[in-house]
Structure 1
Amino acid sequence: MKFQKEEPPGEEGMPVQLRPYSIRARFTLVTAVLSLIVFTLIGIGLDFAIRIRIQDGIFAESQRLATSWIDWQPYAAPQPVTTTRIDLLQFTDSHGRVLAASRAAGHVPISTLHPPPDDRIRHGISCTPERCVAFTVVRLPLLQTTMLWSGEPHFVYAGMVQPPILSGHRLEWLTGLGIALMSALSAWVAWWVVGRTLRPVAEIRARTAEITVSDLSLRLPQPPGRDEIAQLARTTNRTLARLEEAVNQQRQFASVVSHELRTPVSALYTRLEEAVLYPDEVDLRETVAAALSTTERMHAIINDILVLARIRTVIPAPPEPIDLGALVAEESAGQVNGAPVRTRTAAGLIILGNRIQLIGVLNNLLVNACRHAQTTVDVSMARAGGYAVVNVVDDGAGIAPEDRERVFEPFVRLADGRRLDPGGSGLGLAICRGIVSAHHGTLSIEDSPRGARFVLRLPLMETNRSTAHV
């Protein structure tokens, strides 16, 4: 059992307190203390029960023998004989004189205890320095004493020397030894059971020490069963898997950001270097204008990166009820560039969300659709399974099935997108999906007869409330 020293601050010279610092040691100590208390109480009760049981047996047998001896007229027997363990028999008068006795009893009175007139039988224990005798004394009936001894009381004593287990402290010593052994056995069982239970914890701790940020592929050993330790291991492994995925995404994101920023930075560096090296050959106004355009592109990319980072890390503002149909109609009416937008809204589709963020999502989807459409953009709404569904469909070239998930990745831009929007950062759809995910919805691209069909699903307010009450 391991212990650690515990010294009060600023109390030099005070006695050192020791306390076990391992769970196994603490449980074993608590089990030992509780077992000692419980077994001590049981031992005390058992000690009393054994004493009472043995004494009651002696008293019952001695009473039976004494009353039987009275029936045999013991006053006429010069030396009574017994064949049971009750070997001490005496017949005495009221002055304590022994009138008849068994060989083992002798002529020294067993006791001077006399039953009261209203109770013919008494039990007792008489002790001398040599021995203790458990006995029963019986008063002879009044009719016999009146006829034979003129009413003088006479008594019959029957008893035996107390067994060694009662006369000394042997029973207490045996009980104490049993208490100590049972408490030690309980402590050992607790030590073994807790050690076996915590064995997976030691393996989990050793494996956890091997996991580093540079290598998150290791997983904790999962013990069999469904106890708390097994559930902890499974939950931790799922957390490690999510953490590994997040770290990989961050690494990939950082790599993509570095690549996207390297191009405009390199171009800016090259132009400025040419202006410094060849001041007479370079048009400074043109160089400054180009540098300003590159800086604006870098500024737009950085702003989009910050927006995407805030969506992933910053706690969103408290949601508010929003009439999604009115919001879609308002944003559709505000699109004046590109193909016209035809809108079919639905009433009563109330959601909980951040109005500013959802406006950004709708605006981005509508701008993309208007940019890629040839003649028109159709926006429709419906209710489906507790969700408000918004379909934004253009009649452009569409998106190939293998690219429908790629376009939501940061900085991914298809050839058609680069051609129609050369200054774009490629973060718009990634930001939209991040916002929609934060609202517990989905944003995807689904099949359409012609063009691209973006489908936005957001949980209705009654769905959010019912989920919150589960």
Structure 2
Amino acid sequence: MVMNLRPHSIRARFTLLSAIISFAVFAIIGAGLDLAIWTRLQDNVYKQTERVATDWIGSWTPGRAVPPTPKTQINLLQLVDSRDKVVAASPAAARQGPLTTFRPPLDDRIQHGTQCGPRHGCLILTAIRVPPLETTVLWRGQPHYVYAGMAEPGLIATHELELLTSAGVLAATALAAWATWWLVGRTLRPVAMIRARTAEITVSDLSMRVPEPPGRDEIAQLARTSNKTLARLEAAVEQQRHFASVVSHELRSPVAGLHTQLEEALLYPGDVDPVTTIRTALSTTERLQAIIDDLLVLARIRSAPPAAPEPIDLAALVTEEAKGKVHGTPVRTTTSGPVVVLGNRIQLIGVLNNLVVNAQRHAHSIVEVTASRSGGHAVVTVTDDGEGIAPKDRERVFEPFVRLDDGRRRDPGGSGLGLAICRAIVTAHHGTVEIEDSPRGARFVVRLPLIGAETAPSPN
């Protein structure tokens, strides 16, 4: 079984990532700093040893090499001949053999290096080949060498520098990790509050909202978007509950009537005409079927995924649909050139047909349908010369199952869902349908975005 070592918490992930990156960066910086300090110390020692060695050579007199008397930390000085014999030395280097065995050549008289041995540990040395003039005067041309050095400083010899650098790297990494942990925790604190509040929200109570932190960062935008989504969800659930209540009420009456008729036919077979009962039951079931079909259409418009829209010329559509209305009140059309929108042809035909049939039902002598362009929108109007609709009822008629008295009288078998379906379709096309003032009758106005408008429709 493979274990997942990746932390589940975003805070822990960022902290771990920050620690890894910080350790790598600080380790490189520490190694560079360590190397720079070590090189600087070594160079300083080389400069001192070279200076002390040359000063000692300069103090010699003809025929005699004066033994050195160190006055600095460079306390190891030796003069060695070509047979590795120590000719002169400082007190600290007098009781041991040559400090080193390497010999600078003629073309490179001064060399620096580190010599490690079991007797004196590691030494930082400068080896100088005595110039030919002094060699000739003092030793008849026999090569001699001067060694000047000192023991490695404790900071280098005991690896104290590496230990201090490593401790600094670890401390800086820990500080960076803690800062990341604190900063990410502070940043994600509103997220934890949003999560806790979201866990308290249930379908039975959608009135709660998540806390919105100040500012305009991504978390604040998330909180505001979540509250807007909750508000839409609450409105949709309330609408669904109201719709379910209305549907149950509208279906209960015909179902109860059908049940009563069938029950009477069974209880009083001699008093009830079965043919009449069957006809009445059939009429009731037809009404129920019409209501159910309209409900399915309405539900499909609200919940089905959007279909690909197509360009539709509403002017041509109005003219074509008007020609098919050969029965009922005459329909007169007026169009002004192409009026092209994006939408679902079948649904828009349904909207136009529903509005025209509704106008024919209430008109006295004529129904007028127009299609035009206005301010980036296609405008379709359906006007009748009937009694009209009172301003207080102009919004109510678009609610499911709302039917005015005149509508019930003219169409007793209607479901009361036609105008609700029209509004749902037009809304899905990012348009509006309203009832506006008219000199006579009712005037339904549909507005849809033209092709090229900023808001593209997404019909179901």
The yes-or-no answer on 1:118 pairing with 2:107 is yes
Which of the numbers 165, 190, 193 marks the counterpart of 1:175? 165
Structure 2 counterpart of 1:86, from 71, 74, 81: 74
The residue correspondences of 1:144-163 to structure 2 (distance < 5 A) are: 144-163=134-153
The answer to whether 1:352 aligns with 2:346 is: no
Letter in 1 for 2:36: A
Are positions 1:335 and 2:322 aligned together?
no
**Matching residue of 1:233:** 223
User: CA deviation digits over 1:35-59, x for unaligned, max 9?
Assistant: 3333333333322222111101111
CA distance in 2, matches of 1:467, 1:451: 31
> What is the CA deviation profile of residues 107-165 of structure 1, one whole-angstrom value per residue up to 9, with x for unaligned ones?
53322222111011100112233432212122222222223322222222222221111
Q: How far apart are the structure 1 equivalents of 2:394 and 2:52? A: 106
1:271 to partner: Cα distance: 1.8
Q: Tell me the residue number matched to 1:22.
A: 9
Alignment partner of 1:310 is 2:300: yes
8 Å Cα contact 1:395-1:452 kept in structure 2: yes
Q: CA deviation at 1:74?
A: 7.2
Cα offsets for 1:185-220 (capped at 9, x unmatched): 222222222222222222222222211111111112
Superposed displacement of residue 17, structure 1: 6.3
Q: How big is the shift at 1:467?
A: 9.0
Quick one: distance in 2 between partners of 1:180 and 1:316? 58
Decide which moves more: 65-74 or 48-57.
65-74
2:443 corresponds in structure 1 to 453
Supply the RMSD in Å over aligned alpha carbons.
Answer: 2.4
Normalising by structure 2, we get a TM-score of 0.91
Q: Quick check: 133-142 or 190-199, which moved more? A: 190-199
- Alpha-carbon distance in 2 for matches of 1:446, 1:414: 17
Out of 379, 385, 388, which is 2:369 matched to?
379
Out of 127, 133, 137, which is 1:143 matched to? 133
Stretch deviating more after TM superposition (245-254 or 377-386) = 377-386
Provide the rounded CA distance (Å) in 2 between the counterparts of 1:163 and 1:338: 114
Query: Could you list the runs of 5+ residues in structure 2 that have no partner in the other structure?
Result: none
Aligned residue for 1:305, secondary structure, equals helix
Q: Distance in 1 between matches of 2:126 and 2:43?
A: 11
- Secondary structure, in 3 states, of the residue corresponding to 1:20? coil
For the structure 1 residues 118 and 356, does the alpha-carbon distance in structure 2 shift closer, same or farther, using more than 3 Å as the test?
Answer: same
Give the residue type in structure 2 aligned to 1:116: P
Which stretch shifts more, 162-171 or 222-231?
A: 222-231
Shift of 1:277: 1.9
**Aligned residue runs from structure 1 range 21-420, under 5 A:** 21-73=8-60, 76=64, 78-108=66-96, 109-129=98-118, 130-420=120-410
Q: Is the 8 A contact 1:138 1:156 kept in 2?
A: yes
TM-fit CA distance, 1:250: 0.9
Structure with bigger RCO (C-alpha 8 Å, 6+ apart): 2
Contact 2:369 2:381 in 1 (8 A): yes
The one-character-per-residue Cα deviations of 1:396-418 (angstroms, maximum 9, x if unpaired) are 22223332222111111222222
Distance in 2 separating the partners of 1:221 and 1:344: 54
- 1:3 paired residue number: none
Gaps (5+ residues) in structure 1?
Answer: 1-6, 9-15
How many angstroms apart in 2 are the aligned matches of 1:416 and 1:74? 138
TM-score (norm. length: structure 1): 0.89
Say whether the 8 Å CA contact 1:220–1:237 is kept in structure 2. yes
Higher mean C-alpha deviation, range 90-99 or range 357-366: 90-99
CA 1:394 to 1:74, structure 2 compared with 1: closer, same or farther past 3 Å?
Answer: farther
Q: 2:439 and 2:60 mapped to 1: Cα distance?
A: 125
Matched to 1:80, the amino acid is P
Q: Distance in 1 between matches of 2:338 and 2:347?
A: 21
Contact 2:364 2:385 in 1 (8 A): yes
CA separation of 1:171 and 1:280: change in aligned 2, threshold 3 A? same
Q: What SS is found at the alignment partner of 1:418?
A: helix
2:92 alignment partner, SS class: coil
The residue type paired with residue 178 of structure 1 is G
Query: Greater CA deviation, 426-435 or 443-452?
Result: 443-452
* 1:340 CA displacement: 2.2
Aligned-pair identity in percent equals 63
Q: For residues 414 and 61 of structure 1, what CA distance do their matches in structure 2 show? A: 111
SS of equivalent to 2:44: helix
In structure 2, the CA distance between the partners of 1:465 and 1:23, relative to structure 1 (3 Å rule), is closer
Distance 2:130 2:392 in 1: 116
Paired AA for residue 92 in structure 1: V
